[in-house]
Amino acid sequence: MTKGVKTVGNMTVAFYPGSFDPMTNGHLDILLQALNVASRVIVAIGIHPGKAPMFTFEERAALIHEAVNAVLPARKGDIKVVSFGNLLVDAARDHGATMIIRGLRNGTDLDYEMQMAGMNHKLAPMLQTVFLPAVAESQPITATLVRQIASMGGDVSSFVPKNVCDALYTKLGR
Ligand code: ADP
């Protein structure tokens, strides 16, 4: 039995970090799965100085909220979007989270994620990493490929929520 996972009453707060530039169907799938295992999910957008994103933090946050509202309005109040630029475990603890959510697409993700989960466990043993499996149809999706395909005129409507697709096309003047 794993010791020490702290809950506040029956509330489990999960921290789901990533770039979400922009949110894809893969991200949304993991976020919805996370809501099955946690009472509240904090979507944490990592800010990397020197790396210019396609969408600002405010735009990415709005797209995440809209996408969740469209498919699971009953849980919209259980999601918060924040930014962080410090150590993941520190940011998670600052927000009162007890769980770190990571999505797994394939074995390559697993190798990397196992290493990161191990390091995070050493840094903050009270934070429980939870891996959630990508559904088959979102396994190949990455935000980087979505941006590349969209900027070269491709159809990304099957890879991202409708509101994100519209925002991408608007941003690209299509
Ligand atoms: P990307 O790899 O698309 O740039 P992020 O770095 O923002 O995405 O990833 C944030 C989290 O979402 C990670 O845990 C990552 O494994 C997960 N994730 C990203 N894309 C998918 C997907 N297609 N299916 C499941 N999980 C995903």
- Hunting for tokens 């295992």 — which residue is that? 37
| pLDDT at res. 5 | 53
Average pLDDT over residues 80-92: 98
Q: Is 142 in the pocket of ligand 1 (CB under 6 A)?
A: yes
Q: 157 CA distance to ligand 1 centroid (A)?
A: 18
- Mutation test residue for ligand 1: of 16, 20, 25, 27, the one with most atoms within 8 Å of CB: 27
Extract the tokens encoding 29.
């799938």
Q: Is the pLDDT of residue 16 over 50?
A: yes
Radius of gyration of the chain (CA): 16
| pLDDT at res. 8 | 52
Q: Identify any residues that bridge with 79 across adjacent strands, giving them in sequence order.
A: 41
| pLDDT at res. 49 | 87
**Cis before residue 22, ω within 30 degrees of 0?**
yes
Low-confidence winner among 15-19, 21-25, 170-174 (lowest mean pLDDT): 170-174
pTM as predicted: 0.93
Extract the tokens encoding 69.
């509202």
CATH class for domain 13-171? alpha beta
The model's pLDDT over 113-171, given as tens digits with 9 standing for 90+, comes to: 999 999 999 999 999 999 999 999 999 999 999 999 999 999 999 999 999 999 999 99
Q: Is 146 in the pocket of ligand 1 (CB under 6 A)?
A: no
Domain parsing of the chain, residue ranges: 13-171
In three-state form (DSSP H/G/I as H, E/B as E, the rest C), the secondary structure along 45-95 is EECCCCCCCCCCHHHHHHHHHHHHHHHCHHHHHHEEEEEECCCHHHHHHHC
Of ligand 1's listed atoms, the one at least distance from the Cα of 101 is 14
Q: 134 CA distance to ligand 1 centroid (A)?
A: 9
pLDDT interval class at 1 (50, 70, 90):
very low
Q: Is 98 in the pocket of ligand 1 (CB under 6 A)?
A: no
Q: 24 CA distance to ligand 1 centroid (A)?
A: 8
Instruction: Confirm if 44 and 83 have CB atoms less than 8 A apart.
Output: yes
Query: What residues have CB less than 8 Å from 127, skipping those under 6 apart?
Result: 15, 89, 92, 93, 97, 98, 99, 100, 120, 121
Q: Is the pLDDT of residue 4 over 80?
A: no
Q: Is 101 in the pocket of ligand 1 (CB under 6 A)?
A: no
| pLDDT at res. 6 | 53
pLDDT interval class at 174 (50, 70, 90):
confident
